[in-house]
A and B are shown apart, each in its own frame.
Chain A
């Protein structure tokens, strides 16, 4: 039983980790926290519903088109929600992304209606048995893709010039522009890629949950909690935090209480914020007075 829960928890946690990666990316490049990150997942999932279910396009093609759609939306999001406010400081951006999140959800609600939708899984086989544990195929795919993305993203930031340019942009935009780094493009790339990550998370988790307008919110907040638990701004931290939260939530729902399942993530978050706000892996760059 515990192993089964662990597997499920890791699967759920991987979704949080994917979205958290998007958070961290945007934060590292722009110092902004995007409260609408999870809604990219919602958009990705709905795009899949429209493409694969309503229009009955081939699954693979649907995935590609859905991702493209979400990435374009990410670019639009940058232009309208973040970019105009980029000089204004933390608070206006937080508030603006919250507003955008509400707009996205209610816009989708108006467009598609309140009924939750279902999405078929990627593989037709439901899964494989390993010992006493049933490995759901969708969860397996989630785990594999997440692992792959984690590695790629890490290498991107640590070893590529573009990754360094993005970091430089987040640390001192003006200086980066003086060096000839195209700051606006760095930011745009960041949003596009983060949207991609969010959309991918939605496409992967869509078959497991119902696809509903509110699905992004819950994922958003928990993914954000994951980044804090792992150490804000830290790539590895986002992963570990996401997985941890997924496991805690799954075990909590099974052993303690189902209706309060969503509360567990927040309780863990609150505990971390009070005791160890820099998270498990957090690094702090000192502010010299």
Chain B
């Protein structure tokens, strides 16, 4: 079977972590041939320029693949980073006499720095806020390039940009650009299948789930943004060297739109697609350039049309075909090792693993959680029950770090975590599932669980070890055979199990289950009860919220009852369930007499 090097999540997770020898060699061969092309074939100056533009633009577009395609964050200032890089090289080699290589390094660093600052300042917001920040930055930069004449030469631009001596011949410079292109492209392609790439995609698909899976979502987004800016700066620096003259009007918002269009047309989640889109939009419609005004109008229309009709870009057609034609590989269940749940709590069984004191969380005037105490013993199954609106889910959100408490303290295994962010808690050993299942829909089942495994703070010796661990977790919940499936093709009950597998893959000490039985049928609930009992047998501690009293009775040793945000009872299951206050407030009549 030929393994073509194509971006597709099913095949991606099926592939080993080093591209197959055949695919890798094919790519390397192709890259070397194309890089040598300018030297071997004689090209006109015009053709050289065209290829130069395509190559440098594609590098910048790779940046968009990372920040927008992988991490899902919008960046409308790629032309600004491109321009920063270009001006660094331009001014560096002319006014400041730094030489090309140093200037190029400066280009990447300055662009990256700008990206980092911008990202740090604005990535806590998202969506249109981020769009506005990037446009603002773009606008301010354009204004500065045009008006700070003493530094940038203003609208006249910078001439006579120096190339390094060995690359002075345009053909050699182009070959160099192509070499950088292939290297950068390969890097971006590989990134998708690595831990960081998966983390970015998780943030894109479901940021809250990513946070509780152990991903520092803010840091991930900032990194993606910085990398994107750096690639933009790299492309810009090479652009300046290639054309030896630059001016501010090459780096305006319109150019950012052009970059965006190239990424979208090709397929923004794919390095290959993006390069393809760039090439297509530069090399093919060259004749449009003679009609300068229409050229831009066509770009505008193209953006709209692509968004409407081709959301995955042209490369999406390739991946769609691939998914149709190539089936998933079989899973060898015999070779899966049993799931090691190895993290030892510092405290011993019977002591409190999780100690919550006087915890409060208010929303405006609503006291969702009001001075609640909760003590969960190591290696126990503890239930948190209460009527709807009693504050159970809010409590769980505070415990997992999604909400900040207004008062009180949370101590986990001897350490205070009251204000710790979600990913820190996960790495300390707390995992959780959600009432409304939160999975990463664009990744396969296996990828979802791998995220849980590799972000938990456990160190794995290799990528293969992560994968095996994920398989173990899937086998534990009984879904190993479906490892390569899309999330969308699983039933609700199975999706619930994938979420549990993801939580288990992180090797937690404590798992918080938020209504795990919701939406499950009877048989599925039985299985869940079995699973919970198995977890306890393995030494885990469980805190569960649910409404199904029969199920709670079966698994929980201790129960805490909330009502209107306050705890009204706490103790051994049988005692709590007989407590008249509890019965009065919540249980009512177990058998229905509604009419």
Contacts and interface: CB of A to CB of B under 8 A. Distances in A.
Interface string A94-124: 1110111111111101100000000000000
Nearest to A23: B128
A221 B77 CA distance: 14
Interface string B295-336: 011011111100110010000000000000000000000000
A96 B131 CA distance: 13
B393 A288 contact: yes
A273 B140 contact: no
Contact of B139 (A101, A106, A266): A266
A85 interface: yes
Interface string A220-240: 010011001000100000000
B143 A100 contact: no
A98, A110, A221 — which one has the most chain B CB atoms within 10 A of its CB?
A: A98
Interface in B378-398: 393, 397
Nearest to B149: A259
B569 interface: no
Interface string B401-425: 0110000000000000000000000
Interface residues of A, number: 46
B515 to A, nearest CB: 13
B133 A273 contact: yes
B297 A102 contact: yes
B438 to A, nearest CB: 9
B264 to A, nearest CB: 7
A234 to B, nearest CB: 15
Contacts of B402: 289
Interface string A1-35: 00000000000000000000000000000000101
B303 A102 contact: yes
Given A98-B257, A270-B136, A273-B133, A106 B300 contact: yes
A33 B131 contact: yes
A274 interface: yes
A185 B224 CA distance: 40
B397 A259 contact: no
A108 to B, nearest CB: 9
A269 B132 contact: yes
A80 interface: yes
Nearest to A278: B125
Contact of B128 (A90, A96, A270): A90
B128 A33 contact: yes
B128 A100 contact: no
Contact of A99 (B121, B301, B397, B434): B301
Contacts of A135: none
Given A274-B121, A277-B129, A96 B135 contact: no
Contacts of A94: 74, 127-128, 131
Contacts of A103: 297, 300-301, 304
Contacts of A274: 121-122
Given A221-B136, A262-B143, A107 B297 contact: yes
A262 B208 CA distance: 37
A84 interface: yes
A224 B402 CA distance: 30
A246 to B, nearest CB: 17
B147 A96 contact: no
B294 A102 contact: no
A288 to B, nearest CB: 7
B248 interface: no
A260 B127 CA distance: 27
B218 to A, nearest CB: 14
Nearest to B211: A289
Contact of B72 (A91, A93, A262, A289): A91
Given A95-B307, A99-B307, 16 more contacts: A33-B128, A84-B308, A88-B307, A92-B307, A94-B74, A99-B303, A105-B300, A106-B297, A259-B143, A269-B136, A270-B133, A273-B122, A274-B121, A277-B129, A288-B393, A289-B402
- Top 8 nearest A-B pairs (CB, nearest first) are A99-B303, A102-B300, A103-B300, A106-B297, A266-B136, A33-B128, A99-B304, A106-B296
Interface of A: 33, 35, 80-81, 84-85, 88, 90-96, 98-107, 109-110, 217, 221, 224-225, 228, 232, 259-260, 262-263, 266-267, 269-270, 273-274, 277, 286, 288-289
